[in-house]
Amino acid sequence: MNENNKMSRRSALSGLSLAVATVAAAPILGRASTTEGTFYGPTDLQDPTTKYPGPPFIHQNQPWPALANKMDPKPDHGEQSYKGSGRLQGRKALITGGDSGMGRAAAIAYAREGADVAINYLPQEESDAKEVVELIKKAGRKAVAIPGDLRDESFCQKLVQQAVKELGGLDIVISNAARQQSNASVLDITSEQFDWTMKTNIYAPFWIIKAALPHLKPGSSIIGTTSVQATDPSPDLYDYAQTKAATTNFVKSLAKQLGPKGIRVNGVAPGPIWTPLQMGGGSTPEKLKEFGKMTPLGRPGQPAELASIYVQLAANDASYSTGQIYGAAGGSGQP
């Protein structure tokens, strides 16, 4: 083969390689831009340190129980941002503390993922609960509002019965409602206050789960809201922190008991989250001003930032996750 033929062959192969590379790249380039130069790549990255408001916050303690609609700034529960994709289509969920905080974020997300939702809350939280009910209905799903005090065993039993009746069954139970009160010293906690926290945070999940279990089929999920307080307690949350350690352990224990029955049990462990729990005595005015500042992200989390965790733990594609605690604490705390 003479030199001219060699050069021609090299040129042809080089041209073919370039053509193949161009064809392979074309779909990518086509997605990335138009003739006008507009970029159509992935959703823009968001800096988590500036995505939501950070401290200092204004003093805003409210009478217990506090309301989300009176907070400044108002928490983001995903009202505008959460987009569903049918991951929980046809499911039936009961969420305690569903009027605000993580319970509200889960209720909104569940409805937009295709689930019918029953929420429990205190009668004093009716104004917040009405907003959640409207959001669930707007998503095209059934909303059931069941106000009542979880410290009453008979009410917890009626709560489950009503949810099952009005939803037509039950396959997701989120034990989220909690009482948290800041006290500088254990000497400041009365037996009545201690009992209130224990009844709300430990007894109520026990009563509700007992009542719900006969209705839960294989594939159902139980989700407990625990906290970083379970493993890294604050000195002023003596009683609350104990209950969150108990929640963590009921998740792990019950997961072993119910695993053979095909019922999964998991927990979500938030760090400092911007909810009414803090405003109604859960934090001191001094702590509220700098709330979330101690985390590596430098701000408190928003309930909307945990919504997808509650969805994932209830979805069928998380079928091998049970007895797990999923943390969301801005880079601090455990797990």
Q: What is the pLDDT of residues 225-275, one digit of tens each?
A: 999 999 999 999 999 999 999 999 999 999 999 999 999 999 999 999 999
Supply φ then ψ for residue 223, to 5 degrees.
-130, 125
Q: Is 240 a catalytic residue?
A: yes
Q: What is the pLDDT of residues 264-290, one digit of tens each?
A: 999 999 999 999 988 888 888 888 999
Q: Looking at the predicted structure, is the pLDDT value of residue 317 above 50?
A: yes
Residue whose C-alpha is closest to residue 153's, from 213, 224, 99, 210: 210
| pLDDT score of 311 | 98
* Contact present, 113 and 311 (Cβ < 8 Å): yes
Cis, bond preceding 270 (omega within 30 deg of 0):
no
Domain at 68-328, CATH homologous superfamily: NAD(P)-binding Rossmann-like Domain (3.40.50.720)
| pLDDT score of 61 | 81
Supply the angle between the helices 191-198 and 238-258 in degrees, to the nearest 10: 30
* Options 82, 121, 238, 240, the catalytic residue: 240
pTM for the full predicted model: 0.86
Q: Looking at the predicted structure, is the pLDDT value of residue 30 above 90?
A: no
| pLDDT score of 42 | 59
* Contact present, 193 and 181 (Cβ < 8 Å): yes
Q: Looking at the predicted structure, is the pLDDT value of residue 102 above 50?
A: yes
**b/e map 127-157, b = 16+ CB within 10 Å:** ebbebbbebbeebebebbbbbbebbebebbe
Cis, bond preceding 296 (omega within 30 deg of 0):
no
| pLDDT score of 90 | 97
Task: Provide the residue count of the chain.
Answer: 335
